Chains A and B, each alone.
Chain A
Amino acid sequence: MDWGFIIERTFSAMIGPEVMIYALAAVGLNVHFGYTGLMNFGQVGFMAAGAYGVGVTVFWLDWSFWIGLVFVFVYAAVLALLLGIPTLRLRADYLGLVTIAASETIRLLARSRVMKPVTGGVEGIDKFAEPFYNLSPFELGKFYSFGPFKYLGRDVWVLMVGWTLLILVTLMVQQLMRSPWGRTLRAIREDEDAARALGKNAYYFKMQSLMLGGMIGALAGLIQVIQKSSVQADTFNPVITFTIWTILIIGGPGRVWSPIIGSSIYWSLIVFVENTLRQLPAGARDTLRDTVELSDFNIGMLRFMLVGGGLLLLARFRPQGIFGSREEMALDRR
């Protein structure tokens, strides 16, 4: 077994592109669910809005990448309005139903043949992110090592910009949640009617929260497609949404830093388990192949099963997440 390789991969995953992108999406979901109590089961829809915000602008409108960045937020805001206007006056469940349906609708529409001239259909869109990479101070094709971390130059550039944005957005959310605005969101999460009786327009605050969290999700989608250099409809499937939920729950909803820590734990676990399984000594590998039919093809599935088991343990022994407080959680049961 090559432990050096496993450790290098795991460390690189700890602050890698997935961690940064999913953490950003989870910051958005944290605004929705952690602070406002909004059940958004379609965060991936906002990511798709961000991705196509730039993709469609370059591919269909043939406008510049930089104008596309504006559309990232415009699409997310419009999506939030479309989802919120009919549902935010109703009980929390309705938003959940509508968001999951909407995110799938976006994916299926984007990959449909009718939309091919606009979204590229199943082939998707590529060659749109050059303006971003042209600014890179790193050689795109060269590997860079920093201690145990090792990335391609293009990823170093994405990581630098992405982590800067992630930290800035997180600090912004922290500032907002310490303000009276954030206090009102938390009050709405606890009891909407109490907030309304005290003069708060709950509908308006929930809409603002949906838009803010959605725009943060769109930013995550934008960085994801820049990192992949392609916009593919099928990458925006519901599994992404539930991964984001998992990350938020690992960290603890309603805590500022939990999306980052949750995402880092989730992805380093996945990478560690996968690489360890692939590096098993021959004897152990043969035994696993003969008993549970573990092959190179289904290692990917096994790692999700193991992570699922880990989540069960978390739910049993630390239901409040890494950052959550047990006392606070106990208040729910009174």
Chain B
Amino acid sequence: MTVVESASGAPDTPIITATGVVKTFGGLRAVDVDKVEIRRNKITALIGPNGAGKTTFFNLLTGFDQVDSGTITLDGNDITGTPPHKLAEKGMVRTFQLTKALAKLSTIENMKLGALDQLGEKFWAALIPGAWTKQEREIEARADAILKRFNLTHMRDEFAGTMSGGQRKLLEMARALMTDPRVVMLDEPMAGVNPALAQSLLELIKMLPGEGRTVIFVEHNMDVVQEISDWVIVMAEGRIIAEGTPAEIKSNKAVVDAYLGAHHGEDLSKVELS
């Protein structure tokens, strides 16, 4: 994999900022964020109870939902209201809480779909095989390399629909990497993944910052958050109630009292939050 040079900005500047972002559904203020900065080439965890607005905030950042007010920037450029496919071209890719493996496409087809700027995706070029076969071979080689890294080579020619839930999570992340992103946004990457696979998935996520990629992920499992994140943002009722290093969050009395309660440190997905 090649290391992506960021187009602008020193290593210390935030790659994503969200300022005054508000999203309401009817009377519900789903997201109400004053200011968030996501640090470049770090792993940032977004945690909070169910209904805290994490996924909505994710959707706003990735263009799948539109803000009522506020501004979102990527590398200093305003990206508020930019549609998802344009954001992918700008280097921002996401995965979904409910995995979106394309069931009736083979694993390798799923992977190849992820490559950007494909000549063969133009209608007239698609009619002429010679116009895109060379690029297709390059894309396929890149896809095979990533599949190998994700330990999915044995599924290469199977329909993605035949994969287990955990394998689909792996495939979705592998496919996202095919866009060669600067920002990888993972919505609950560990949900439904068995412990054996989870460990390799964690290792794969930890490698991303070294390749010049920023990771933002939503997660319920506090052990995972403690293990891989550089920074933790805590949301509740649409607002950001705390942020800091995993250690700080662990000992943040406000967070513990107001939100983690007596179950602090345990697996949040197993905690009944009222």
Chain A positions within 8 Å of B, measured between CB atoms, are 172, 175-176, 179-184, 186-187, 189-191, 193-202, 208, 212, 327-328, 331-332, 334
Contact = CB atoms under 8 A, between A and B. Distances in A.
B124 to A, nearest CB: 9
Given A181-B120, A198-B179, A208-B123, A191 B104 contact: no
A334 B64 CA distance: 25
A334 B103 contact: yes
Contact of B127 (A175, A183, A190, A201): A175
B93 A176 contact: no
22 contacts: A175-B127, A176-B126, A179-B125, A179-B129, A179-B132, A180-B112, A181-B123, A182-B126, A183-B105, A187-B113, A190-B103, A193-B84, A193-B96, A195-B113, A197-B64, A197-B96, A198-B93, A198-B114, A199-B93, A199-B116, A331-B162, A334-B103
B83 interface: yes
Nearest to A208: B123
Contacts, number: 109
Across the A-B interface, give the 5 residue pairs with the lowest CB-CB distance, nearest first.
A331-B161, A199-B88, A180-B120, A181-B126, A179-B126
A2 to B, nearest CB: 47
A200 B161 CA distance: 21
Given A193-B64, A194-B102, A334-B161, A199 B132 contact: no
B6 interface: no
A172 B93 contact: no
B122 interface: yes
- Residue from the set B64, B85, B109, B162 with the largest chain A CB neighbour count within 10 Å: B85
Contacts of B95: 197
Contacts of B138: none
A13 B122 CA distance: 39
Contacts of A327: 159
A198 B113 contact: yes
Contact of A331 (B64, B132, B159): B159
B103 A331 contact: yes
B21 to A, nearest CB: 20
A187 B105 contact: yes
Given A193-B96, A331-B159, A199 B89 contact: yes
Contact of B113 (A184, A189, A201, A332): A184
Contacts of B94: 197
Contacts of A197: 62, 64, 84-85, 88, 93-96, 100, 176
Contacts of A181: 120-123, 125-126
Given A199-B116, A332-B103, A194 B121 contact: no
- Residue from the set A182, A187, A199 with the largest chain B CB neighbour count within 10 Å: A199
